[in-house]
Amino acid sequence: MQRPMAIACGVALWLASCVRATPAAAGQFAQEKQKEAVAPVYDLADTDLAAIAEVDSRRIAVFGVKLGDPREEIRKRFGKEARPASWNPSLLFVRLGGTPQQVGAAGLVLSFDGRDRVASMEIGTGTRTGELPEVLATKLRGKTRALFLKYSDDLRLEIFGPGSKKYQVPNPPLTVYQYPLRGLSLGVYRDAQGRERVSGLLLSPPQPLDKPTE
């Protein structure tokens, strides 16, 4: 039985995007805690990423979900659309587009920390055909929506800016653009026609750079 495409795109992107925090980084984040508490949170259902100054994952909600939210709250909010991922029951999959019969349905893949709160979240297109990204993109705004519909490096740089680290993931073949200081990673694949398409956008806690950016 074929697994959902979100397995390949989501989990590979998540694993490729992990950066180990250092003790110094922990102290830095603690100092910023008060600032984070008063910083505005923007939901991608209402706000284009390109319109957010100094965007980072702590200031972004994805259709009502943000880092640190408890699992039970998400279950109540999304009801039957939020279920344990079939490929990994420790993850929660929230369907955002497509029918249950479609193998590669678009969705939000959530991982949790030891307190059962959201540790990372990925918006996954769930397909390489170009069909479901359009369903998903109707929930997004502005240049963020355009990025999911028709990826380009210029558009990525306009939204996220410079400072990415670039990884190649062999299986499935993905290019991952990681922005550790922003807590953002973007997975991009090339379809059969040679066009580049977004496979997923991952949000996790910002981390310090352990290597120079490319």
Residue-wise pLDDT tens digits, 20-37: 444 554 455 445 444 444
- Indicate the range of 36-45, 137-146, 151-160, 194-203 predicted with least confidence: 36-45
Q: Write the pLDDT tens digit of every residue in 49-67.
A: 999 988 899 999 999 999 9
With H, G, I as helix, E, B as strand and everything else as coil, classify residue 104: coil
Mean pLDDT of 85-90: 88
With H, G, I as helix, E, B as strand and everything else as coil, classify residue 12: helix
Q: Write the pLDDT tens digit of every residue in 144-155.
A: 999 999 999 999
Q: Please give the pLDDT value at position 9.
A: 46
Q: Please give the pLDDT value at position 140.
A: 93
Dihedral sign of CA atoms 193, 194, 198, 199 in order: positive
- Indicate the range of 7-11, 22-26, 122-126, 190-194 predicted with least confidence: 7-11
Strand spans (E) along 71-124: 82-85, 88-97, 106-112, 118-124
Instruction: Give CA 161 to chain center in angstroms.
Output: 17
* Band of residue 100 on the pLDDT scale cut at 50, 70, 90: low
* Rounded Cα gap, residues 57 and 67, in angstroms: 8
| Global confidence as pTM | 0.79
